């Protein structure tokens, strides 16, 4: 479990930078033969770039990550996985453009528990047992969905690009789950709180969390 607080942890920043440096070195020695010094006007500037990326991600994480839901020590997790996830998203030649949107995309690649708050496009997929035994629904489900192109609706999951311009903004679909596992669509909502509100009216005592996070 992490002991992370709301204050940025220098150990986590260092872990991000070290992980990113290692992954960049690995890529530069591969068949790509990328010259990082040329990309960033010198090796010292490259080091500043990866430190800025690590700092930005840690500052963003202190606001948006539910650390109590982590099973791993935060700095160790970042040292092991941050660099690969970051380079897969940004490539080694464009790390100087690392921004808050990239922070979210990296967090979702790492399957981190991102808090659902405000307009941040965070994927949610939660089910809860129906305490009313006489109901035709054994469970209720709340899942983020997005509209694609000409009106098709698709689930928005942690494996998707949260800023894919082909999709509209995510919304929360509310479904009843039958005995055979089939879903029956009940309603759509702009916010998670509204979906939970309906669930609690239909099934008082249902155990949906007040403050969910991505999974």
pLDDT tens for each residue of 143-177: 999 998 778 999 999 889 999 999 999 999 999 99
Which contiguous run of DSSP H or E holds residue 107? helix 100-109
**pLDDT at residue 16 tops 80:** yes
**pLDDT at residue 3 tops 70:** no
**Backbone torsions φ then ψ of 79, nearest 5 degrees:** -60, -35
Eight-class DSSP state of 67: G
More confident call, 45 vs 213: 213
The C-alpha atoms of residue 103 and residue 101 are separated, in whole angstroms, by: 5
Q: How many residues does the chain have?
A: 215
- pLDDT at position 147 is 94
Tokens, residue 31: 């068949």
Q: Is 196 helix (H, G, I), strand (E, B) or coil?
A: helix
**pLDDT at residue 29 tops 50:** yes
Arithmetic mean of pLDDT, 113-127: 93
Residue given tokens 């897969």 in the structure block? 88
The C-alpha atoms of residue 167 and residue 162 are separated, in whole angstroms, by: 9
Q: What is the CA radius of gyration of the chain?
A: 20
* Positive or negative torsion for Cα 146, 149, 151, 155: negative
pLDDT tens profile 72-100: 999 999 999 999 999 988 878 888 889 99
Alpha-carbon torsion angle 195, 199, 205, 210, nearest 10: -10
**Backbone torsions φ then ψ of 167, nearest 5 degrees:** -115, 150
Parse the chain into domains and list their residue ranges: 10-109, 125-202
- pLDDT at position 2 is 47
Residue given tokens 């669509």 in the structure block? 185
Q: How far from chain centre, in Å, is Cα 33?
A: 31
Of residues 109, 98, 18, 111, the one with CA closest to residue 59: 98
Place 140 in a pLDDT band, splitting at 50, 70 and 90: very high
More confident call, 42 vs 21: 21
Q: Average pLDDT, whole number, for the chain?
A: 90
- pLDDT at position 28 is 75
């Amino acid at each position: 479990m992490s002991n992370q607080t709301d204050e940025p942890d220098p150990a986590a920043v260092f872990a991000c930078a070290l992980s990113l440096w290692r992954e960049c070195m690995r890529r530069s020695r591969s068949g790509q033969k990328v010259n990082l010094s040329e990309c960033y006007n010198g090796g010292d500037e490259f080091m500043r770039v990866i430190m800025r990326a690590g700092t930005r991600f840690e500052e963003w994480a202190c606001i948006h990550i539910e650390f109590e839901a982590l099973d791993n020590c935060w700095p160790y997790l970042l040292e092991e996985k941050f660099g690969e996830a970051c380079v897969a998203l940004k490539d080694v030649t464009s790390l100087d453009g690392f921004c808050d949107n990239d922070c979210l995309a990296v967090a979702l690649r790492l399957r981190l528990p991102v808090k659902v708050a405000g307009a941040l496009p965070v994927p949610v997929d939660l089910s809860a047992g129906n305490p009313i035994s006489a109901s035709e629904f054994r469970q209720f489900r709340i899942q983020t969905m997005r509209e694609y192109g000409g009106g098709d609706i698709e689930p928005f999951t942690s494996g998707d690009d949260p800023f894919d311009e082909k999709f509209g903004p995510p919304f929360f679909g509310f479904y009843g789950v039958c005995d055979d596992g089939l879903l029956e669509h009940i309603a759509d909502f702009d916010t998670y709180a509204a979906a939970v509100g309906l669930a609690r009216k239909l099934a008082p005592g249902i155990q949906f969390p007040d403050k969910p996070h991505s999974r």
